Structure 1
Amino acid sequence: MPNVPAEKLIEVARSLLVAAGASEQEAEVIARYNIGANLVGHDSHGIILIPTYIDRIKVGHIVPQAPWVITQETATTTVIDGNWGFGYAVTDRAMRYTIEKAKTQNVAAATVFRQSHIGRLASYPLLAAKEGMIAMITADSGRSAKAVAPFGGAKARLGTNPISFAIPSNLDGPFVFDMATSAAAAGKINVATARGEQVPTGWLIDAEGKPSTDPRVLKSGGALLPLGGAEGYKGTGLAAIVEIMSGLLTGLGFGVEPSGRHNDGCFIAVFNVAAFRDLVTFKQEVTEFAQYLKATPLAQGFTEVFYPGEVEFNKERDRRKNGVPIEDATWGKIRDLAHGYGLADKLGF
């Protein structure tokens, strides 16, 4: 399993995407966010996805250089049609647009529909936190194939339906919360499959509704379980709310349509902290709150308490210094693509 510098991964992803039809600007945004996921340890949302995106371009499910269109707008709200463009580029622009609205209106929100996979959710609210704002985002795959069984069910009816918040602070690393409402993100199952590993008990059921630790069952009629284990109704409830905010409110709907086209919808909200509290005071209080959490006496078997986002921050510092481990199966696909596009020599394969 090679250990690859992040800068190299970004260049590889960017070059392959341009060769597949993305504009230089789109490829730059996608590569930065995509490899950013690798850096913080979320390999399920990193370079392992680039071959999938290129496959989707080839069959017309992703439209490079698609127009970004506002279909409805008020002073505080925006509805955006991504026209099947790259989700990273569409949502990056949507979040930045919403941040600008919040600077003058204090609270702003947006929905986005008809776009491809948007990757690691935390990437987007972090843009707002850097501007002294609190932001949230939810995402749902609309009427794309589902992966999560509702609590008590044996078949998938929900997406992994993630939700993320970012909060401004004075901490060394960002105070950011990002979770799937399923026991694990579907991408983590793909990583385990690529690495030939089993997954923890409580993540999956097979096609007959029986518990399984074999990641391959997800693509053989199995399903992910909702967050919460024995109290999985909590994960199901959260997933249902995300589906409504990002699927129904955007007009994507629910259920599954036969096209198989991945269709991320998202809901974005941004809150200008200065409209509620003095920003300097608030950021310091968030910092002190995180420190208060970290000072909690430790339970047996634990060595440290982390504030939300700290584990990823520590992982990023390590991987920027020591490189990103990429499983052989993924690196082999990337190498094959580089050869196929005549980029092997340029990219050092």
Structure 2
Amino acid sequence: MSSIENIRLGKLDERGRFSVVKPDRLTRICMALLKAAGASEDEAQAVATGCVNANLAGHDSHGVIAIPSYIDSVKAGDIVPGAEWTIERESPTTAVIDGHWGFGFHVNTKAMALAIEKAKTANVAACTVFRQSHVGRLAAYPLMAANAGMIGLAAADSGNLRKYVAPFGGREARLGTNPISIAVPSNLKAPFLLDMATSAVAAGKLDLAIARGEEIPKGWLIDAEGRPTTDPRDYCKGGVLLPLGGTEGYKGSGLAAIVELLCGLLTGPGFGVEPSGRENFGCFMAVFNVAAFRPLDKFKKDVADFARHLKSAAPSEGSSGVFYPGEIGYLCEQVRTANGIEVDNVTWEKLRTLACNYGLSCELDLA
């Protein structure tokens, strides 16, 4: 395993707790399982590709580990395959989109595509989305804008579902992990991309640690009594995540509150928790056409020059050097595309069980 993967993910487990699967095979498996659960071809493609792309970039918490839970949500009626998204309100520069409980990957992709089309003529556009399921790795949507020569911004919250994060100074959850992502076009091989939770870590990282039987770093989680813990299982016993920032966690807490306003209140569902509610992930997306401000080619060159300027800084003690935002994910993607994706055996067995239940074990070579 390369040093790039080690920076991001830690060394490959030597006790045989992972299966290594090629990305195209993993995508095919996930698509088949989702279609068997009722997803259309387009929906299955969006979800499976989104999850595998997250794995490729090193975001295993948003990868195929989530596929079984998505299928469970379909069975429970919380996700409605084939749901027709509708535009509830629209102007030349804005849109409010109702996902009607559809797959978030699918709904959000269409919403960002609409914002990009609006920005081609209006130069600045924004969309809000509500009543959709989990949207996966948030970076996927701003990257669509960057590929179109625009700056893309996205933020997401968990609607009125269970909250995971304590506001700074508290020990009870009031906030979601509330990620923010911004992608900028450039001449770089790797995208110039920010993709971050406003909590110390994404909630899926805890599921990943539990599946892998690993401890978590200090500063991620407090238990039900408000005490720091390195046991991810404490999360399931009433523990809560901490906001980004450690002793300066008021910064992450403040960012999370703003995301809640943009994605919960501006979209309409509001705040708080409805225990019997359905999945209702809210999103806010904005697109800025670079050409409206300055020539795109010159801007892209300047972004690349700026990234190289950042990387020219001498490394601090114990550091592997400076990476600009988005670079490590890109380097990880190159390694995993060539060598395969590590899927923990707990998740692999869940995929095998689903294949068996749907009568797809032989077709997918998962017998």
Tell me which of 178, 184, 189 is aligned to 1:172: 189
CA distance in 2, matches of 1:226, 1:218: 15
Partner of 1:275: 292
Tell me which of 7, 13, 25 is aligned to 1:8: 25
CA contact (8 A) 1:145 1:260 kept: no
Tell me which of 134, 153, 159 is aligned to 1:117: 134
Tell me which of 122, 125, 131 is aligned to 1:105: 122
CA contact (8 A) 1:40 1:315 kept: yes
CA distance in 2, matches of 1:303, 1:226: 26
Tell me which of 234, 237, 247 is aligned to 1:220: 237
Shift of 1:29: 1.1
Q: Which amino acid aligns with 2:322?
A: V
Equivalences for residues 83-94 of structure 1 within 5 A:
83-94=100-111
CA distance in 2, matches of 1:217, 1:62: 28
- Which TM-score applies when normalising by structure 2? 0.94
Shift of 1:303: 2.2
CA contact (8 A) 1:40 1:316 kept: yes
Partner of 1:188: 205
Q: Which amino acid aligns with 1:176?
A: L
CA contact (8 A) 1:112 1:265 kept: yes
Q: Which amino acid aligns with 2:97?
A: I
CA contact (8 A) 2:101 2:279 kept: no
Counterpart check, 1:302 vs 2:306: no
Partner of 2:170: 153
CA distance in 2, matches of 1:226, 1:101: 35
Partner of 2:4: none
Counterpart check, 1:265 vs 2:282: yes
CA distance in 2, matches of 1:218, 1:81: 32
Q: Which amino acid aligns with 1:172?
A: K
Shift of 1:260: 4.8
Tell me which of 236, 242, 250 is aligned to 1:233: 250
- The percentage of counterpart residues that share the same residue type is 60
CA distance in 2, matches of 1:260, 1:316: 36
CA distance in 2, matches of 1:22, 1:303: 43
Instruction: Report the more deviating stretch, 177-186 or 251-260.
Output: 251-260
CA distance in 1, matches of 2:183, 2:275: 35
Which aligned runs of 4 or more in structure 1 are off by greater than 2 angstroms?
Answer: none
Tell me which of 341, 346, 352 is aligned to 1:329: 346
What SS does structure 2 have at the residue aligned with 1:346?
coil
CA contact (8 A) 2:156 2:180 kept: yes
Task: Give unmatched runs, 5+ long, in structure 2.
Answer: 1-17
What SS does structure 2 have at the residue aligned with 1:200?
coil
Counterpart check, 1:59 vs 2:76: yes
What SS does structure 2 have at the residue aligned with 1:325?
strand
Shift of 1:262: 2.5
Task: Give unmatched runs, 5+ long, in structure 1.
Answer: none
CA deviations 1:8-47 (Å, max 9, x no partner) are 1100110000000000111011111111000000000000
Tell me which of 62, 74, 96 is aligned to 1:79: 96
Partner of 2:6: none
What SS does structure 2 have at the residue aligned with 1:121?
coil
What SS does structure 2 have at the residue aligned with 1:137?
strand
Q: How many residues align?
A: 349
Q: Which amino acid aligns with 1:100?
A: E
Partner of 1:128: 145
What SS does structure 1 have at the residue aligned with 2:139?
helix
Shift of 1:263: 1.6
Query: What is the root-mean-square deviation in Å for CA atoms of aligned residues?
Result: 0.6
Q: Which amino acid aligns with 1:173?
A: A
CA contact (8 A) 1:86 1:118 kept: yes
Partner of 1:45: 62
- Which TM-score applies when normalising by structure 1? 0.99
Shift of 1:53: 0.3
CA contact (8 A) 2:152 2:286 kept: yes
CA deviations 1:229-270 (Å, max 9, x no partner) are 001000100000000000110011111002153321000000
CA deviations 1:305-324 (Å, max 9, x no partner) are 00000000000000000000
What SS does structure 2 have at the residue aligned with 1:271?
strand
Q: Which amino acid aligns with 1:109?
A: A
Partner of 1:138: 155
What SS does structure 1 have at the residue aligned with 2:249?
helix
Instruction: Report the more deviating stretch, 254-263 or 170-179.
Output: 254-263
CA contact (8 A) 1:247 1:265 kept: yes
CA deviations 1:209-243 (Å, max 9, x no partner) are 11111111112111000000001000100000000
CA deviations 1:288-309 (Å, max 9, x no partner) are 0000000011111112200000
Partner of 2:43: 26
What SS does structure 1 have at the residue aligned with 2:125?
strand
CA deviations 1:142-179 (Å, max 9, x no partner) are 11100000111011110000000000000011111000
